[in-house]
A and B are shown apart, each in its own frame.
Chain A
Amino acid sequence: MADLAASIKELTKTYKLQSEEVRALRGVTFDVPQGDYVAIMGPSGSGKSTLLNLLGCLDRPTSGSFFLGEDDVAKMDDDGLSTIRATRIGFVFQSYNLIPQLTVEENIEVPLYYQGRLDPSARQRCRELASMVGLGERLGHRPTQLSGGQQQRVAIARSLVNDPYFILADEATGNLDSVTTDEILQLFERLNNEGRTIIMVTHEDEVSAHAKRVIRLRDGLIQTDIQNTDRVTNLKKEAMAKIQDPAKPQMERKV
């Protein structure tokens, strides 16, 4: 158990609309070992968003269990879920979701603030995270003064600040152009190489190609759950670029 970041068993979720019941999830079971990089895919209506909300502890399942570490969060109350979100999950959203009136540094600090852990050493760590994602020079900027890629990097730094069990990325590259998407995906890959667990919800094959494992949902059930043998890594990309066009000088991108 200890080496699992998350463990889901027979998770179901039923929404009650006025007359009919919508069974968004019909029993989903999978484990996420620590250090895994999972992409969750599926067409709309497949239960992808519902699973995301459950994984993010924003919602409670109708039945089943969801272990985050030793605790079954499926049975927690609202305050308990808030605490779990604050301590064990790092959110990265499609639309960055930074708080507009706060600076880069303050945005990164918010999760710690809600845990009452904002001491000088924690603030130092926030600044280190900002430098790690390449925004050490922009601590005092507001989100509106940053580009989309920069905002997303702030969001990633924020997701790391509480040392989460896993990073939950919801279409994290959906609003970005391809160059920036590459940058963000490289950042994720680097974090994964450092041992971070990443769960990424996406509908783009190019994005999921970077994951170690791809789970496909359909109609509220897992359709396939396969290890990604054709995984695109930076090394592979570089090698392929050399093969295709040996004359072209290699592009170096620093994150």
Chain B
Amino acid sequence: MFGLRTWILGVKSLLLHPMRSLLTVLGIFIGVASVIWLLAIGEGIGKKAKEQIEGLGADNIIVRSRKPPDEGAGGFSAPKLFGLTRAECDTIESTIETIGSVLRIRELPYKFSYAGNPDVKPIDGRLVGCTEGYAEVTRLEMSGVGRFLKDDIDVNVNVCVLAGELSAYLFPFEDPIGKQIYLPESQDYFRVIGVLKPKNATAAIGGSLDAQDFSRDVYIHIKTMEQRFGDTVIKRGSGSFSAQEFQLSQATLRVKDVRDVPRTANVIKATLFSKEGEPRQDISVIVPYELLEQAATTKFMFMVFMGLIAAISLLVGGIGIMNIMLATVTERTREIGIRRAIGAKRKDIIQQFLIETIALSVVGGATGILGGLLCPAAVDATRFVMEQFAPKILDSLPEIVRETDAVIVPLSIPLAFCISVMVGVVFGIYPAMRAAQMDPIEALRHE
């Protein structure tokens, strides 16, 4: 009975009021398109977060030193050792069996200058003491020849590897390999043995890991750093003087089997933290594996939330359909009476009006899907326009907004379509029932 003819008649009836039908379709269009858009954007953000966390390595546990809040105002007191110590790190490495390797990292803020001409304005950067494994863990790549701090280099010789951007600043016109850079603060010279490819900064992850900018890094062997610079860092400024003492900025512990990560993390926390299990102010333990799980949960919540918003807009669209259909039923009371008088059963009338609502919502759904598929293109276009005309506003936005791409969730398309048909049925059934329940005699008398 749901024959082609019934559909044609339904569409004909709808076309009697093209504007009204168009506006009703618009309601569903917006609802369905927003389902796809919101899911696509949610998926994009989730994917981005997942990539960032996976960049840290799911099988890694990161122990990072934090500078505790300053105690005692004013005056100079002897610097107090804080953070992860070499001894603690050695203990962890030697006692916890599930740990495969330990990467020790020490980062110091430093100024770098071109050794050939000490008048060149020094540039602020970061001196990173590390070992060969650092390049792999942070996905740094060498540009051209040269090797990252190989384990067999002589730690008594000052050699370094430069970040690509820093190298371009210090050595704009010459090949830096074999040349020396100058550290004006400690009056040290380092010979360049390698240059890295430029690498984008990593984003901060939640509150647990700060964003890292690799563009002004100088990498030296951690043993060299220990021998040359000691554990105490003294900062002199105009009228200020501060000192801090720490041994390691970070240790990245690689767990042999990823399934052991949560267990190992607990053991590390137990080792580092006090017996009461009170977290130490100067150390944070970051477990990307847990973050990954958290991110999945967060993403799920986000999707549910987005879905809820989309559901609301669909609800509004559906109510729009119902409203229009109720008006239509009243307006066509006489037609209903005629149809009943010449042989239409109640179910024929229900079917007729239901088909009209389904037709409306399916058209809305189909166009909504097309609109939804435009989402990635629209996001790209918006970004492009922003870059062209309002780069400052774009820069001021958080990174997640700047760089997230919308990723269409394939399932969202059939889902959106089913939802639109369902909206048609759910919101069409009441007006259709009302039409069918009319007394044919009354309906025929209706003017």
Contacts and interface: CB of A to CB of B under 8 A. Distances in A.
Contacts of B13: 101
Nearest to B335: A99
Interface string B328-356: 00000011011111111111100000000
Contact of A110 (B1, B342, B345, B346): B342
Given A99-B338, A110-B339, A116 B1 contact: yes
A101 B16 contact: yes
A213 interface: no
Contacts of A110: 339, 342-343
B345 A114 contact: yes
Nearest to A86: B343
Identify which of A85, A87, A98, A118 gathers the most chain B CB atoms within 10 Å of its CB. Answer: A85
B338 A162 contact: no
Nearest to B340: A82
Contacts of B339: 99, 110, 114
Contacts of A146: none
Interface in A66-91: 78-79, 82-83, 85-87, 91
Interface in A110-161: 110-111, 113-116, 118, 158
B440 interface: yes
B342 A114 contact: yes
Given A97-B334, A99-B338, A114-B348, A58 B440 contact: yes
Interface in B314-337: 334-335, 337
The interface size bin for chain A is 20 to 34
A111 B338 contact: no
Given A100-B335, A101-B12, A79 B346 contact: yes
A59 interface: yes
Interface in B1-41: 1, 5, 9, 12-13, 16
A53 interface: yes
B343 A97 contact: no
Given A99-B335, A113-B5, A91 B342 contact: yes
Contacts of A59: 441
A255 to B, nearest CB: 23
A134 to B, nearest CB: 21
Contacts of B343: 82-83, 85-87, 110-111, 114-115, 162
B444 interface: yes
A60 to B, nearest CB: 11
Interface residues of B, number: 23
Q: Interface majority SS on B: helix, strand, loop or mixed?
A: helix
Contacts of B347: 79
Contacts of A98: 338
Contacts of B334: 97
Given A110-B339, A118-B5, A53 B441 contact: yes
Contacts, number: 68
A93 B9 CA distance: 23
Contacts of B9: 101-102
Interface in A207-228: none
Given A93-B444, A99-B335, A82 B5 contact: no
A82 B345 contact: yes
Nearest to A85: B343
Interface in B354-390: none
Nearest to B348: A114
Interface in B390-447: 440-441, 444
B345 A83 contact: yes
Nearest to A79: B345
A42 interface: no
Nearest to A162: B343
Nearest to A118: B5
A56 interface: yes
A192 B341 CA distance: 22
A91 B440 CA distance: 13
A111 B444 CA distance: 16
A98 B337 CA distance: 11
Nearest to A116: B1
A97 B5 contact: no
B346 A58 contact: no
A82 B335 contact: no
Given A58-B440, A59-B441, A101-B16, A78 B338 contact: no
A115 B13 CA distance: 21
Contact of A58 (B12, B341, B345): B341
A189 B156 CA distance: 125
Contacts of A101: 9, 12-13, 16
Nearest to A103: B12
A185 to B, nearest CB: 22
A122 B343 CA distance: 16
Contact of B338 (A53, A97, A116, A118): A97
Contacts of B444: 58, 93, 97
A85 B344 CA distance: 8
Nearest to B344: A114
Interface of B: 1, 5, 9, 12-13, 16, 334-335, 337-348, 440-441, 444
Closest 10 CB pairs of A and B: A86-B343, A114-B343, A82-B345, A97-B338, A111-B342, A85-B343, A111-B343, A114-B344, A58-B440, A58-B441
11 contacts: A82-B340, A82-B346, A83-B345, A85-B342, A99-B339, A101-B12, A110-B343, A113-B5, A114-B345, A115-B343, A116-B1
Interface of A: 53, 56, 58-59, 78-79, 82-83, 85-87, 91, 93, 97-102, 110-111, 113-116, 118, 158, 162
